Structure 1
């Protein structure tokens, strides 16, 4: 990955989402999986002679959902410029609860996390996210150390022609 992108708040997450979108298109084109980006909902305020005005609403879903090998997949793509940990406040309560609900019903639920300054993408399974999330709710650490990603998560890379071959890492 090249580091020729803006880390401004507006562009946060854009690089990883572009990479995931390209990979998902590759998966669809090869008949491997059908995983789609969920658009952010927009509340239209007015439509006067074709000029539409509105604002983005708080999303109630995660970034991606789809199906692979007959099982549902839901996940979110997150980026952090932090080199040593992933702050849990990057995940909203509704995102966590949705991932948890789908995980409990048998879906593959996870996060793809990009450590942007290290050019590393990890697949964080929901079970590990849940451990850290629940601990944080009880007053524990408010982030997941990078060492946990290195030791307990799969590093997602470009391989077999896929931009980010993340499906290789889900069970």
Structure 2
């Protein structure tokens, strides 16, 4: 019997981010790359001795940035429980703008997209994201079909001792 569970909004992406963080630590330890998670901004509302009260604020950036072989890497991690497509509304306007801008300036820019119910993670290059984003802006489809990930993106797996060896596809 398969156990189902519900994750709160705050924990969405936590599993994927943990896998990426472990992989990034492995990359650093082996001298392959230095890629770091950008911390989520927090607005402190009250500080009373040991107790701090606050809330997370809307980030102005993407999840990860780093360098490998002198080349900038910038990406975001996204999860979807949808089996047939990845909804573009999972990406905020500012995240798309950053990924697109850095891609146009020569950075390796992409999304790591986890289809949680299929237990699959794909690397979606910024150039391909741009095609679907612009089409959606012009009244087209508001999601990227799963088949596009299967046929045009790299499936990211554990490989060569790395938890989620995404740099293999960059």
Instruction: State the match for 1:73 in structure 2.
Output: 73
What are the residue-to-residue correspondences of 1:2-151 with 2, within 5 Å? Answer: 6-151=6-151
Once the 2 structures are TM-superposed, how far is the Cα of residue 5 of structure 1 from its aligned partner? 6.4
Q: Report how many residues are paired.
A: 168
SS in 2 for 1:139: coil
Taking structure 1 as the reference length, the TM-score comes to 0.94
SS in 2 for 1:133: helix
Once the 2 structures are TM-superposed, how far is the Cα of residue 148 of structure 1 from its aligned partner? 0.3
Superposition CA RMSD, Å: 1.3
CA distance in 2, matches of 1:66, 1:4: 35
Once the 2 structures are TM-superposed, how far is the Cα of residue 68 of structure 1 from its aligned partner? 0.8
SS in 2 for 1:163: coil
Instruction: State the match for 1:159 in structure 2.
Output: 159
Listed as ranges, the gaps of 5+ residues in structure 1 are none
Once the 2 structures are TM-superposed, how far is the Cα of residue 43 of structure 1 from its aligned partner? 1.2
Structure 1 contact 5–15 (Cα < 8 Å) conserved: no
Listed as ranges, the gaps of 5+ residues in structure 2 are none
Change (3 A) 1:163 1:136: same
2:169 is the alignment partner of 1:169: yes
Change (3 A) 1:168 1:92: same
Taking structure 2 as the reference length, the TM-score comes to 0.95
